[in-house]
Amino acid sequence: MPYRYAEFQAGEYYHIYHRGGDQQKIFFENENYLYFLRLLKKYRDKFAMNVVAYCLMPNHFHFKLQPQRDDTLSQFMGKLQQSYVMAVNKRYQRSGSLFYERFRHVHVHSERYQILLCRYIHVNPKKDGLVTDLRDWPFSNYLEFIEARKGELFVPGYREKFFPRRKNMRILSRNMAPMKMTS
């Protein structure tokens, strides 16, 4: 696949998503999710990346990211995924790529899209039938959004700006039918 250059601007928001090759799992056990989250924290700091929302699913993940420096997002994603794939390949004695092609991205350009994207990201486990209550999925920062957990992968002030009351986030995520994201 030919390389497609994308510019990522500091201060802007981006929906980043990626799935496993042939829609296969990328997380095989709980420790894989936890290791990926440790890498996410490590590279978030190294590349000055705000992790606004995330959800890790068995065969894909979603992020809402805000780079603090121009053109660091691709490097951030490259290091994160490369480190994870190397560890998984070593642990499971496998080789080759784990992910399908390159990660996908969409520029988040409106306030409405900001809100809908957080909802879309956090509802994935319920939509895919992994949980009936979003509070039961530990591999997203939904719990930080509703102030049920104090995590490090969360941007202070973001929730208050777009979801001024905790119940707004719960209402937005409750009884949700699957939705298609459009920018």
25: tokens are: 């799992």
Helix (H, G, I), strand (E, B) or coil at 164: coil
- Looking at residue 167, its amino acid is K
Residue 134 per-residue DSSP state: G
pTM, to two decimals: 0.86
DSSP H stretches of helix in the chain: 30-46, 73-91, 111-127, 142-145, 158-162, 166-173
**Torsional sign, CA 152, 12, 178, 32:** negative
Domain residues of the chain, as ranges?
Answer: 13-173
CATH 3.30.70.1290 for domain 13-173, yes or no, is yes
One digit per residue, pLDDT tens: the chain, 183 residues? 344 556 899 999 999 999 998 889 999 999 999 999 999 999 999 999 999 999 999 999 999 999 999 889 999 999 999 999 999 999 999 988 899 888 999 999 888 888 889 889 999 999 999 999 999 999 999 988 888 888 888 777 777 676 665 555 555 555 444 444 444
63: tokens are: 């992020």
Residue 23 per-residue DSSP state: G
**60-67, strands of its sheet edge to edge:** 49-56, 60-67, 13-19, 104-108
Angle between helices 111-127 and 166-173 (to 10 degrees): 60
